[in-house]
Structure 1
Amino acid sequence: MSQHLMTLPILIPMIGALALLLFNQASDTRRRQLSTALCVAQVLVAAWLLAVAGGGQMLFYALGNWHAPFGIVLMLDRLSALMLILTAVLALGSVLFACAGEDARGTNFHGLFQLQLMGLNGAFLTGDMFNLFVFFEITLLASYALMMHGGGKERIGAGLHYVILNLAGSALFIVALGVLYGATGTLNMADMARRVAQMSGDQAALVTAGALLLIVVFSLKAALLPLYFWLPRTYAAAPAPVAALFAIMTKLGLYAILRVQSLIFADTPVAEAIATWLWWSGLATIALAGVGVLAARDLRTLVAYLVLVSVGTLMAGTALGSIDAIGALLYYLPHTTLICGALYLIAELISQQRGKAGTRLVRGRRLHQRHLLGGMFLVAAVAVAGLPPLAGALGKALLMQAAEGSARLWLWPLLLLAGLCALIAMSRAGSVFFWASYKGEVDSGRVTRPQLAGVLWLLASAPLLVAFAGPVSGYTQATAEQLAEPQAVIARLLGESPALQFGRLTIEGESP
């Protein structure tokens, strides 16, 4: 049975979602226990796959024994394993927090939560463009319902805009796939890469149009300027555990761009156009999101703009294209995702103890547990601003070091100014919440154990990524080197390497 373990990141949440949705009359306690157990199982499976990929092995699994490029092939490399463990860790912290009562404000929270995890994990594992679209849609369908969990005028309004924009993005995705399929005759990533490399003339122009359409779609998913205006309001209105999980949604767009750019369109004329778009859009996103951070008058909106700063940083690093730059952004990726997720949970805890003031940066009730909340807020603020000695500073330093020539003149000032904006904004928010004068009675609300466990689980990433900076940066550097060698992936995925035997999971170096 060991040959089927690669499918578990998809099967576990899929079966769990079906069970939770079918038996929705079960008690809240039972549903919470099952959902938490499913997330723990996904962390363990993702950790195993990370260890396998970290050993330099690439895993492939042909469903139904259909050979590529005709069948559905799952593939796991270092990048996929990194995204799987990041998603699993974020999901566990979010679901622990939700078990304190947020899940009971609507129906089917845990079933939809697992369905979204299924879509995310499937997108990270698939080797086929059409199935990438399918898993994108599964993720989005679940996110539509989770976004409006609990109801409310503001939440439903923001959710409606989110649905409309993503439906438009999905339509463009289908058009892009149709263009690419018409030009190449395949949707398998490896087979498409091989055929694109051999094209010229009108066919190459058609592929270029399809590729640029894809990048526009993925830029919308990643919330890259000028396609990011939907994100601040949407994330600020979402329930706290949902907003925390949504921190990985923008990284799904980044993953898709990295995958198609390094595997399908590497060393093609369109690669330069993609890099140019990502570079200038990434820099503009950093600049305008920094302004948004300073202008925010609500902590949730402030965190949403911090997510956008990280998106711009990651995209600018992707545009640099060098192995050092990709390795640096992949080191920065887990840090910014988990800390932004933790900040959404902390914002909810602050809101619960400030009465009607909520997370608005105005005078409100004095916090009942201001020392506990202040300590967690301080760690998250230092981490998200990129201050030493936490991993944000190291990730940005590695990225700035990877920039060469004129790129430094643009990237260095913007990253430093964005960090300064984050520091000023978080200092102002902390002053309002913990030091400013207050009005009204002190709220008697308390942080529950599940809420505290969820926040600490995510905040632990800040010191751990520093303590294990050597192994983590070594892994991300090796991931960047693996992405720089797409021909090895293409040969193995298409069965042109003896290391791959279709119809079963095959580990490189294993005898067939």
Structure 2
Amino acid sequence: MHESWINHLVIAPLLLPLLIGTLLLLARRTLSLTIRRTFNLAAILGQLILAVELLLLVSDGTILTYRLGHWPAPWGIVLVADRLAVWMLLVTALLAFFALLHAMQGTDRRSRHFHPLFQLQLLGLNGAFLTGDLFNLFVFFEILLLASYGLLVHGGGAARVRAGLHFVVINLIGSTLFLFAAGALYGLVGTLNLADLSLKLAHLPPEHLGPARIAALLLLTVFALKAALVPLHLWLPAAYAATAAPVAALFAIMTKVGAYALLRVETLLFGTHAGILSGLYPAWLLPLGLLTLVLGALGALAASTVRRQIAYLVVVSVGLLLTAFGLGTAAGIAAGLYYLVHTTFATAAFFLLADLIRRQRGALSDRLQPGPALPNARLLGGLFFITALLVAGLPPFSGFIGKFLILRAALAAPDWPWLVGIVLVTGLLGIIALARVGSLLFFHIRGAGSGAATHPLPQPGYFRAALPTIGLLTLCLALLIGAGPLLNFTDATAAQLLNPHEYIHAVLKPIGIQFAPEEFAP
């Protein structure tokens, strides 16, 4: 393939959802539901093909760049596709495919805006992963905020509107802090290009170190809010528990956007090459990640509904993920990247499964109360058992591999000897919480009959309705079967992140900036 066409592939994951989303928005009153579904599904399949093609191109360590308007960085906006960015694109496309399949069972009938919002959400996600510019990251965060608010309140209802208002207000505060941080950094070094920022922050005059630290901590606050890191996590349980199941499943990747931004900034701007600014993020991420683990596990134990418990389990996964990233080692980052994919698919499958259960319990919905026997309890119970094993990180599934790798990386961190104990204890609390849910739903039977489900599963049967859930669980099984090659990839990705001179060279080589690569060695 010609080099220019290869570089054009970098912007394709943005153009495709933008064009399809715009078309669906403009023609929402004229296109039938079947056509809207077809366009949406085809666009996601196209994004999946693009992600696979880009993954093949960058798997050898190649970093692809696309200069919008052909303006070279740092003056122009640049998109960058490296192993980490493309890894996130692939996870997003796979998740979106199965979330949309579940939505096509009836959720998307409640508004003509669902399908355009779904594509605009993917535009924001893909853009956040590919951008090489801090201000452009802010722009894509705002696209995410607008689309996610529309999806959050999709279908209406007082609980969704209330959760949506909280979601918007909190995220607008985060956006304001983001602008303050970006403005402070631009005032200090005169650029917002991430590669150029990396060079200039590493050689910052001593008198500017104080403002630089403040700007860095503001960025940490913003990304921690997006990731739902304690104490900025309180918006998540209400929002995820109130929204529609396929939206909550898609939102499983939303917290990973914040984790991605933290990892990117930690390794590129405040890594070992950053002089006195190095180590700034791990000093915060480790204790906050562990605190998030503890409070998330306690929230899961205290939850009164299945969906709220899953939302708290998302918080738990964020805590473990950022604990791994906070170690700042190649082993910790590689383990975190593997665990990131596992927990995204597993929690998304859990949200879809909770919807299947809720629709069979009639007036009880997903409240954790004993009720009549569920119709087709064998299928639902089997899926719940597998999903619980995945989410809890028990063998023999991919969750166990991810948690084991994180624990192994933690054992090599002598400054945190009790880290392993916290991870194991919170894991035990998660198992207890999940066992309680399974017991109440499938064993504590009260009343006669089948429960008179108010929203029966679509015909011709339960199995077809459960296919999106089964698909996500199958992806978790694929993570287990392909663990060897995948771990090799995450190891290579971690090494590339901790050695950022390749990223900087790929972005800034058109303007001939010279620097010593040894300055950026891990």
- Normalising TM by the smaller chain, what interval? over 0.9
Structure 2 vs 1, CA of residues 78 and 3 (structure 1 numbering), >3 Å: closer, same or farther?
A: closer
- The CA deviation string for residues 382-418 of structure 1, in whole angstroms up to 9 with x for no partner, is 0000000101111111111112244553221121112
Of residues 51, 55, 66, the one that matches 2:60 is 55
Structure 2 vs 1, CA of residues 144 and 73 (structure 1 numbering), >3 Å: closer, same or farther?
A: same
Aligned to 2:487: 473
For 1:61 and 1:496, the matched residues in 2 are separated by: 12
For 2:97 and 2:381, the matched residues in 1 are separated by: 23
For 2:61 and 2:226, the matched residues in 1 are separated by: 30
Paired residue secondary structure (2:80): strand
State the one-letter code of the partner of 2:48: V
State the one-letter code of the partner of 2:79: L
Of residues 25, 47, 53, the one that matches 1:21 is 25
Whether 1:423 aligns to 2:437 is no
For 2:343 and 2:79, the matched residues in 1 are separated by: 27
* TM-score, scaled relative to structure 1: 0.95
Whether 1:71 aligns to 2:79 is no
Contact 2:270 2:281 in 1 (8 A): no
For 1:498 and 1:434, the matched residues in 2 are separated by: 65
State the one-letter code of the partner of 1:358: S
Paired residue secondary structure (2:100): helix
CA RMSD between the two structures: 1.6
Of 448-457 and 182-191, the range deviating more from structure 2: 448-457
Of residues 91, 99, 102, the one that matches 1:97 is 102
Deviation at 1:336, TM superposition (A): 0.4
Aligned to 2:408: 401
Contact 1:491 1:497 in 2 (8 A): no
Contact 2:241 2:311 in 1 (8 A): yes
Contact 1:17 1:110 in 2 (8 A): yes
For 2:122 and 2:446, the matched residues in 1 are separated by: 41
Aligned to 2:348: 341
For 1:393 and 1:144, the matched residues in 2 are separated by: 34
Contact 2:327 2:413 in 1 (8 A): no
For 1:194 and 1:253, the matched residues in 2 are separated by: 23
Contact 1:278 1:316 in 2 (8 A): yes
Contact 1:173 1:214 in 2 (8 A): yes
- The CA deviation string for residues 91-117 of structure 1, in whole angstroms up to 9 with x for no partner, is 001000000000112331010010000
- The CA deviation string for residues 29-56 of structure 1, in whole angstroms up to 9 with x for no partner, is 1111111111111111111111222122
Paired residue secondary structure (2:132): coil
Contact 2:393 2:400 in 1 (8 A): yes
Whether 1:321 aligns to 2:328 is yes
For 2:416 and 2:97, the matched residues in 1 are separated by: 38
Query: Percent of pairs identical after alignment?
Result: 46
Structure 2 vs 1, CA of residues 461 and 418 (structure 1 numbering), >3 Å: closer, same or farther?
A: farther
Structure 2 vs 1, CA of residues 450 and 144 (structure 1 numbering), >3 Å: closer, same or farther?
A: farther
Alignment of 1:89-168 (within 5 A): 89-168=94-173
Which 5+ residue runs of structure 1 have no aligned equivalent? Answer: 500-512
Of 160-169 and 405-414, the range deviating more from structure 2: 405-414
For 1:221 and 1:418, the matched residues in 2 are separated by: 22
* TM-score, scaled relative to structure 2: 0.93
Aligned to 1:456: 470
For 1:39 and 1:373, the matched residues in 2 are separated by: 28
Which 5+ residue runs of structure 2 have no aligned equivalent? Answer: 514-522
Aligned to 1:297: 304
- The CA deviation string for residues 17-73 of structure 1, in whole angstroms up to 9 with x for no partner, is 011111112111111111111111111111111122212211111111101101111
Paired residue secondary structure (1:195): helix
Deviation at 1:363, TM superposition (A): 2.0
Whether 1:379 aligns to 2:386 is yes
Contact 1:99 1:450 in 2 (8 A): no
Of 370-379 and 408-417, the range deviating more from structure 2: 408-417
Higher RCO, Cα 8 Å, sep 6+? 1
- The CA deviation string for residues 195-222 of structure 1, in whole angstroms up to 9 with x for no partner, is 1111122222211111110001000000
Whether 1:190 aligns to 2:195 is yes
State the one-letter code of the partner of 2:421: P
Deviation at 1:3, TM superposition (A): 3.8
- The CA deviation string for residues 251-272 of structure 1, in whole angstroms up to 9 with x for no partner, is 0001001111111122332332
For 2:132 and 2:213, the matched residues in 1 are separated by: 20
State the one-letter code of the partner of 1:261: E
Of 189-198 and 488-497, the range deviating more from structure 2: 488-497
Aligned to 1:503: none
